[in-house]
């Protein structure tokens, strides 16, 4: 299984960057997790987006979903259709994606996409949001989507080789009502779940990734910042 962070910015994209989008490949199967602002342009440099086996959308916030609107046009011009697993809530963006270009399916029922086994877990976020676990052979990858502290995630992430984890805030700025984790909480989750490597992500463009990574590594050494455009083999 191979993973590339296509975009890993939170809230809005950095200059020439992109918001959340993670491409996962194995045996020719290809899945995109989230499709935030800037993702389609970078995806097109890598592959024909119409060849995706599926898009898995963790939730309908703009920084995770907005490029679905232009991906729809891309598919429309080519008369192609892509399966889209997403929360079936009342989001206005979801209604815009109820179209012939997307075969819209309930993310909570996802079990298998091509060669990948799929499991999902609700997270703690202001709108319905799901963490995603992809299994291929003996390897497992978890992407949290967006979340604050949420006890069920520990079991959900148990033993994964790689955890891509929301790590938006520094320790000092966190409180219970925020929609995201701190980098040290992401590290705590990785340690508690015994994951091989925690990839910290969803940094806001004006935040300082080095200090976020340093705070995380005080808790658990096996943490690093997401690096957009780099393939990682599991």
Q: Is 202 in the site for Zn ion (CB under 5 A)?
A: no
Shortest Cβ distance from residue 224 to Zn ion (Å)? 22
Q: Which stretch binds Zn ion (CB under 5 A): 95-103, 116-124, 139-147, 212-220?
A: 139-147
Site for Zn ion in 3-22 (CB under 5 A): none
State the burial class of residue 112 (Cβ atoms within 10 Å of its Cβ: 0-12, 13-18, 19+). Answer: exposed
Instruction: Kindly state whether residue 61 participates in binding Zn ion, applying the rule CB under 5 A.
Output: yes
Q: Name the 3-class secondary structure at 186.
A: helix
d(CA 87, CA 67): 16
Kindly tell me which of 25 and 87 has the beta carbon lying closer to Zn ion: 87
For Zn ion, give the closer residue by CB, 135 or 144: 144
Q: Does 122 bind Zn ion (CB under 5 A)?
A: no
Q: How many residues bind Zn ion (CB under 5 A)?
A: 2
Q: Residues with Cβ < 8 Å from 211, sequence gap 6 or more?
A: 170
Tell me the window of 68-76, 84-92, 131-139, 144-152 that interacts with Zn ion (CB under 5 A): 144-152
Q: How far is residue 202's CA from residue 168's CA, in Å, rounded to a whole number?
A: 5
Q: Are 173 and 148 in contact (CB under 8 A)?
A: no
Least Cβ distance, residue 10 to Zn ion (angstroms) = 8
- 77, 95, 203, 151: CA torsion to nearest 10: -130
User: How big is the CA angle at 36 (ends 32 and 41), to the nearest 5 degrees?
Assistant: 80
Out of 67, 101, 146, 188, the only residue in the binding site for Zn ion (CB under 5 A) is: 146
188 interacts with Zn ion by CB under 5 A: no
* Contact footprint for Zn ion (CB under 5 A): 61, 146
């Amino acid at each position: 299984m191979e993973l590339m962070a296509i975009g890993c910015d939170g809230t809005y994209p950095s200059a020439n960057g992109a918001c959340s989008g993670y491409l996962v490949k194995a045996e020719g199967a290809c899945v995109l997790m989230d499709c935030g602002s800037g993702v389609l342009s970078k995806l097109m440099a890598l592959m024909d987006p119409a060849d995706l086996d599926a898009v898995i959308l963790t939730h309908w916030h703009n920084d995770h979903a907005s490029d679905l609107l232009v991906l729809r046009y891309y598919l429309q011009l080519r008369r192609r259709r892509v399966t889209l697993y997403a929360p079936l809530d009342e989001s206005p963006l979801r209604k815009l994606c109820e179209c012939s270009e997307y075969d819209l399916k309930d993310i909570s029922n996802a079990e298998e996409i091509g060669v990948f086994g799929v499991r999902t877990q609700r997270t703690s976020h202001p709108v319905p949001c799901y963490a995603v676990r992809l299994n291929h052979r003996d390897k497992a990858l978890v992407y949290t989507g967006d979340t604050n502290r949420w006890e069920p995630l520990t079991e959900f992430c148990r033993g994964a080789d790689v955890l891509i984890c929301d790590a938006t805030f520094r320790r000092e700025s966190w409180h219970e009502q925020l929609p995201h984790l701190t980098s040290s909480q992401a590290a705590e989750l990785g340690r508690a779940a015994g994951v091989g490597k925690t990839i910290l992500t969803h940094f806001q463009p004006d935040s300082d990734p080095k200090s976020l990574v340093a705070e995380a590594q005080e808790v658990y050494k096996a943490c690093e910042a997401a690096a957009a455009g780099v393939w990682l083999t599991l």
